Amino acid sequence: MVKARLPRKSSLEQTNRACKFKATENSRVLDKSVLNVLSKLEKHKETYTKTAKALLAPKPFFMPKAKLSIVFAALFLSACSQTFEPTSNAAKNPIPKATQELLLKKGMRISAPIFIRIYKKESELEIWKQKDDGLFYPFKSYPICNWSGKLGPKLKQGDKQAPEGFYRVSRGQMNPNSKFHLSFNLGYPNQYDRSLNRTGANLMVHGDCKSAGCYAMTDALVEEIYAIAREAFDGGQKSFDVHAYPFRMTTKNMEKHRRSRWIKFWRVLKTGYDEFEQTRIPPVVRVCERRYHVNPAFANVNFQINPAGPCPGSPGFRPMRRTPKLTIAGQEPKRDPIQEVLRDTTDDRAERDRGFDQLSLPDDLFSEDLGGSSLRNGVY
């Protein structure tokens, strides 16, 4: 008995059905992938909500290709000082037992203030600890695993130069969730750098032994350094100084590099180096006339100094105006644009500078370690 055969559907119809099914499955996979990413970014939900909604919206969404690439970088990459999903409690680890014993042996308190000096050529990071007599003494030297660029200061975003100069680190610049294990922001650009229109952001001391503008340590060493700094903050230190030098500023080394284009700048840095060598107290550094001044006569003035203007006591000097306090209940004071541009913002820079156009992307996406050349300045 011959069985009747059902008529076959055309190959074109089968192909159409297969394509529709595949498109539906791909759409589901894409939606699932995006939702997975969003769940991982719960910590940064407010930052990315607007961008994510725009990407998932059914209506047409127009964005220049350059900006769109930045959006995806925000979702899938992280910067020198940022990560989306902490993987350990490294920031809470105690100071290693051997290091605690060394502190005890040298008569130093765990919570005593610290001072850090960095030497590029020697690839060393020194930690100094204050004793009860108020002076700082050498505690320990750590090898720097990697730093990028060459001898000389950082000039602009994207030059891959590790900075040189006098910087200050507050608790707010410590990052326990760094993509590079742990990190702290050096505070570049400081008043001096900004007075010379130098650009860049988020230059760190961090782990992972990789650098494109930062000072990179091994994870184990950055954990120890981080823990020592954390204990100093817990002990009451508001901020600690970091002096980054091209090399140990000895007379012999200065003579060796006397023909460098940066010799005048290094001579200024040497005044800070020599002052500390003599006094064992980190010097007070002020900026005016677009240069550093170490322990100047006007170190303790109670008014702000324009970093790009004349120094106190010089012809033409005028104190910068301070933003007045509230004069009428509930009324905000007028903002001084000059003060806003020139004041030192090492403590709150990461918060105040957050954003890019209307996307509110984190400032640290454009860190040197992501190769963020001119993105921070809106040049694509």
Provide the annotated active-site residues.
206, 214
Which parts of 102-219 are beta strand (E)?
A: 114-119, 124-130, 136-143, 146-147, 165-170, 174-175, 183-185, 204-206, 215-216
Q: Which two tokens stand for residue 218?
A: 């091994």
CA–CA distance, 333 with 69 (Å, rounded to integer): 39
Torsion of CA 313, 315, 316, 318, to 10 degrees: 10
Q: Which two tokens stand for residue 288?
A: 């005016």
CA–CA distance, 209 with 77 (Å, rounded to integer): 18
Q: Which two tokens stand for residue 377?
A: 């300045």
CA–CA distance, 190 with 166 (Å, rounded to integer): 8
Count Cβ atoms below 10 Å from residue 44 Cβ, excluding itself.
16
CA–CA distance, 374 with 380 (Å, rounded to integer): 7
Torsion of CA 248, 254, 255, 259, to 10 degrees: 130
Q: Kindly report the backbone phi and psi dihedral angles of residue 300, in degrees, each rounded to the nearest multiple of 5, phi listed first.
A: -110, 25
Q: Which residues contact 259 (CB under 8 A, 6 or more apart)?
A: none
Side-chain-side CA neighbours of residue 295 (13 Å): 12
Residues paired with 241 in a beta bridge: 168
List alpha helices for 303-374, DSSP H.
337-342, 349-352
Strands 124-130 vs 136-143: parallel, antiparallel or unpaired: antiparallel
Give the CA radius of gyration of the chain: 27
Residue 67, judged by CB atoms within 10 A of its CB (0-12, 13-18, 19+), counts as middle
Please provide the distance, in angstroms rounded to a whole number, between the alpha carbons at the two ends of the chain: 75
